[in-house]
């Protein structure tokens, strides 16, 4: 009897402990972990879909569309659904002509089993139809419409516009506050990158109920659902017609044309040739295409407007003239005799005109671009004084334009020369080369266009910019870009008048080297330049502005290996300037043309 009672006690004790364990486990699952498993359950039943916003368009200053959108379809898959049904990846592999292992690798990139991950981009419409036809066999497979850019006006300008690409993991971490996800398309360069936040807009969310097989049942409304917000449209300062004209004028050459509105710093034209078809980056770029672009000896990926740093040649003689006048070492009447060369120590420095220019003062030396005159002037201004005035005019530093990868160029001073050549490795003879824009001096077309704008406005200028205004259509909100003004320090009005008169003679004087840049009926100013190149033909430069007494625009033209600036760069400037003043005519100005 005692044994039976003991067995009953053990049985009841074990049963009680088991029941208590079940109660504790039930409490753990239903109460303590209830919220977690409810979320898992809801994740199985409810799918949250991200709705991509429409990316903003890019227009020119007059409202012509430069960058538009066209639909591009991509497939995404939810790993949880695909992994529990092996046939899904098999079917997709056949439709997409992609190995199953590749698809599995893509699925492993997902942030969570319930987050859709891109498995194929830019699928054609027939492929999309096949997916839709087999919808019931492909639970968890969805399609998205990605932004794909097109360029309807015909302006290429890929260096300005930039391109879109899938966000990198490193960028995701850096931009964590922007609510971006793996697989999102963002701006990778140019305007698309600089103004990506404005153009991209914000995503929306929708919720769908699915069955146990992952098939959509109905649209449901939950907290957190919202419509996407369209990105802002950008209006650039570019004039599309003038941009096209400049691009065609440089066709077959390497170089750049930059034109600024001197009244506000707006970039009207900015070309870089050779370039590439911007549609290349609208699709997935293959390794073959990328290698062809990178290895092309003409360097089409290289933005010559802000990255091509070359000696500016005779355009820089104006900086030396300003430095000499402000230092008080000469007056405009200072003159020299040019026999076609100058002896300095054991070296002979030649003028571009082997026959010489005879006796010239400062104005005629600017007009005829006399090297010998500026060789003599170089001996009156030391390298640090010259470098200081060059920096006042913005050389040796970035302009601040709203583009990436702008280079600062190089203005050598004694510290640089000592470091590069040693204290005894250079002499004042180096200053003769620097004074005429040769040697180690490096500038960009944008810097020289800005320098021309500084002269046009007698020292007042604005940071160059491409943004004109942004327009949020849905919010009916327009924001205009506010120009940033600056002043050149330490240059008197009298010095500017000398530079302006001299550059006016370059266009309209009897011996002017820049006649080809003239605009009929207007008094224009300019300066040609021919920069010697040890690797081939000289680089041709022209800078200019006008009208002289009522300035509207400034321009810089670079033709790499183009030969003489007057013969090859000035005619391009004349063509673009001429069309500008046809489109935007001005009243007859006070400083009458000499034509």
Task: Indicate if 65 and 169 belong to the same structural domain.
Answer: yes
Residue 284 lies inside a defined structural domain of this protein: no
Tokens of 393: 């005019």
Element holding 372 (H helix, E strand): helix 371-378
Where residue 538 sits, what CATH number does that domain have? 3.40.710.10
- Does 144 or 34 have the greater pLDDT score? 144
Of the ranges 34-48, 95-109, 256-270, the best mean pLDDT one: 256-270
Give the structural domain span for 6.
2-46
Task: Indicate if 175 and 89 belong to the same structural domain.
Answer: yes
pLDDT in tens, 88-97: 888 888 888 8
pLDDT in tens, 286-296: 788 888 888 88
- Residue 149: pLDDT over 80: yes
Task: Indicate if 264 and 345 belong to the same structural domain.
Answer: yes
> In the predicted model, what is the mean pLDDT of residues 369-385?
96
Proportion of the chain above pLDDT 70, given as a percent: 90
> In the predicted model, what is the mean pLDDT of residues 30-47?
58
Residue 589 lies inside a defined structural domain of this protein: no
In whole angstroms, give the CA distance from residue 352 to residue 370: 7
CB 269 within 8 A of CB 258: yes
pLDDT in tens, 397-445: 999 999 999 999 999 999 999 999 998 889 888 999 999 999 999 999 9
Of the ranges 81-85, 165-169, 214-218, 384-388, the best mean pLDDT one: 384-388
Domains contained in the chain, number: 3
Residue 296 lies inside a defined structural domain of this protein: no
pLDDT in tens, 502-521: 999 999 999 999 999 999 99
The 8-class DSSP code of residue 266 comes to: B
Residue 54 CB: number of other CB atoms within 10 A? 16
Residue 590 lies inside a defined structural domain of this protein: no
Active site residues: 314
First to last CA, the chain: 135
Task: Indicate if 96 and 209 belong to the same structural domain.
Answer: yes
pTM listed for this prediction? 0.86
> In the predicted model, what is the mean pLDDT of residues 203-222?
68
Lowest mean pLDDT among 56-60, 62-66, 345-349: 345-349
pLDDT in tens, 230-260: 999 999 999 999 999 999 999 999 999 999 9
Task: Indicate if 438 and 573 belong to the same structural domain.
Answer: yes
- Residue 474: pLDDT over 90: no
> In the predicted model, what is the mean pLDDT of residues 172-193?
86
Task: Indicate if 312 and 429 belong to the same structural domain.
Answer: yes
- Residue 500: pLDDT over 90: yes
Lowest mean pLDDT among 72-86, 433-447, 461-475: 72-86
| Distance of alpha carbon 572 from the chain centroid | 24
Task: Indicate if 19 and 41 belong to the same structural domain.
Answer: yes
Where residue 117 sits, what CATH number does that domain have? 3.90.1310.10
In whole angstroms, give the CA distance from residue 226 to residue 203: 8
Residue 80 lies inside a defined structural domain of this protein: yes
**Residue 140's pLDDT is what?**
80
pLDDT in tens, 545-570: 999 999 999 999 999 999 999 999 99
Tokens of 370: 């006399």
- Residue 591: pLDDT over 60: no
> In the predicted model, what is the mean pLDDT of residues 84-113?
82
Task: Indicate if 7 and 87 belong to the same structural domain.
Answer: no
Task: Indicate if 369 and 401 belong to the same structural domain.
Answer: yes
- Residue 43: pLDDT over 70: no
Residue 588 lies inside a defined structural domain of this protein: no
- Residue 594: pLDDT over 80: no
Element holding 365 (H helix, E strand): helix 362-368
CB 228 within 8 A of CB 179: no
**Residue 590's pLDDT is what?**
38
Average pLDDT, the chain: 88
Task: Indicate if 412 and 558 belong to the same structural domain.
Answer: yes
- Residue 40: pLDDT over 60: no
For residue 85, what are the contacts with CB-CB under 8 A and spacing of at least 6? Answer: 139, 213, 214
- pLDDT-based confidence at 155, cuts 50/70/90? very high
Residue 519 lies inside a defined structural domain of this protein: yes
Task: Indicate if 33 and 52 belong to the same structural domain.
Answer: no
Residue 595 lies inside a defined structural domain of this protein: no
Residue 185 φ then ψ, to 5°: -95, 135
**Residue 109's pLDDT is what?**
75
Listed residues 234, 252, 284: the one ending a domain: 234
Question: Which of 72, 50, 301, 68 lies closest to 199, judged by CA?
Answer: 68
Question: Which of 237, 304, 236, 306 lies closest to 268, judged by CA?
Answer: 237
Task: Indicate if 143 and 76 belong to the same structural domain.
Answer: yes
In whole angstroms, give the CA distance from residue 163 to residue 150: 11
> In the predicted model, what is the mean pLDDT of residues 134-151?
83
> In the predicted model, what is the mean pLDDT of residues 36-53?
64
CB 536 within 8 A of CB 563: no
The string of DSSP letters for 37-57 reads HHHHHHHHHEEEEEEPPPPPP
């Amino acid at each position: 009897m005692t044994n039976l009672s003991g067995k009953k006690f053990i049985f009841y004790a074990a049963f009680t402990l088991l029941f208590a364990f079940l109660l504790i486990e039930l409490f753990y699952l239903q109460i303590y972990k209830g919220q977690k498993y409810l979320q898992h359950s809801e994740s199985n039943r409810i799918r949250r879909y991200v709705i991509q916003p429409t990316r903003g368009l890019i227009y020119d200053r007059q409202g012509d569309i430069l960058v538009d959108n066209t639909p591009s379809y991509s497939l995404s898959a939810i790993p949880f659904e695909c992994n529990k049904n092996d046939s899904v990846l098999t079917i997709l592999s056949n439709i997409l002509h992609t190995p199953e292992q590749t698809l599995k690798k893509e699925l492993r990139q997902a942030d969570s089993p319930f987050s859709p991950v891109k498995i194929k981009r830019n699928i054609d419409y027939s492929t999309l139809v096949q997916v839709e036809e087999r919808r019931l066999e492909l639970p968890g497979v969805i399609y998205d419409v990605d932004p794909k850019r097109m360029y309807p006006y015909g302006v290429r300008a890929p260096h300005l516009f930039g391109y879109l690409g899938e966000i990198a993991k490193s960028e995701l971490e850096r931009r964590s506050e922007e609510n971006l996800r793996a697989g999102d398309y963002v701006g990778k360069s140019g305007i698309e990158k600089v103004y990506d936040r404005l153009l991209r807009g914000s995503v929306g969310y929708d919720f769908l109920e699915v069955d146990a097989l992952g098939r959509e049942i109905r649209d449901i409304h939950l907290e957190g659902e919202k419509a996407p917000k369209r990105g802002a449209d950008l209006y650039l300062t570019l004039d599309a017609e003038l941009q096209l004209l400049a691009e065609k004028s440089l066709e077959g050459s390497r170089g750049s044309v930059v034109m600024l509105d001197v009244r506000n710093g707006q970039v009207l034209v900015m070309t870089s040739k050779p370039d590439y078809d911007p549609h290349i980056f609208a699709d997935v770029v293959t390794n073959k295409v990328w290698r062809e672009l990178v290895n092309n000896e003409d360097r089409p990926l290289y933005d010559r407007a802000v990255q091509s740093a070359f000696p500016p040649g005779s355009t820089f003689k104006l900086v030396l003239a300003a430095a000499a006048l402000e230092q008080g070492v000469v007056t405009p009447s200072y003159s020299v005799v040019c026999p076609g060369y100058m002896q300095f120590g054991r070296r002979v420095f030649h003028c571009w005109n082997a026959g010489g220019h005879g006796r010239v003062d400062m104005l005629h030396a600017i007009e005829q671009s006399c090297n010998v005159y500026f060789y003599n002037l170089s001996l009156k201004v030391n390298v640090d004084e010259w470098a200081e005035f060059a920096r006042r005019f913005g050389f040796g530093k970035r302009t601040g334009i709203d583009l990436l990868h702008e280079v600062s160029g190089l203005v050598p001073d004694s510290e640089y020369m000592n470091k590069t050549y040693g204290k005894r490795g250079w002499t004042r003879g180096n200053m003769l080369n620097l004074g005429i824009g040769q040697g180690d001096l490096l500038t960009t077309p944008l810097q020289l266009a800005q320098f021309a704008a500084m002269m046009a406005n007698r020292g007042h200028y604005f940071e160059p910019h491409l943004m004109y205004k942004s327009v949020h259509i849905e919010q009916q909100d327009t924001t205009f870009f506010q120009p940033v003004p600056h002043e050149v320090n330490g240059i008197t009005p009298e010095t500017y008048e000398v530079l302006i008169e001299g550059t006016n003679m370059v266009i309209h004087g009897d011996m002017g080297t820049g006649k080809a840049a003239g605009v009929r009926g207007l008094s224009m100013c300019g300066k040609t330049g021919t920069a010697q190149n040890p690797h081939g033909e000289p680089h041709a430069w022209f800078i200019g502005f006008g009208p002289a007494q009522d300035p509207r625009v400034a321009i810089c033209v670079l033709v790499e290996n183009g030969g003489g600036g007057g013969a090859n760069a000035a005619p391009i400037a004349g063509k673009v300037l001429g069309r500008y003043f046809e489109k935007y005519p001005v009243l007859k100005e006070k400083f009458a043309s000499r034509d």
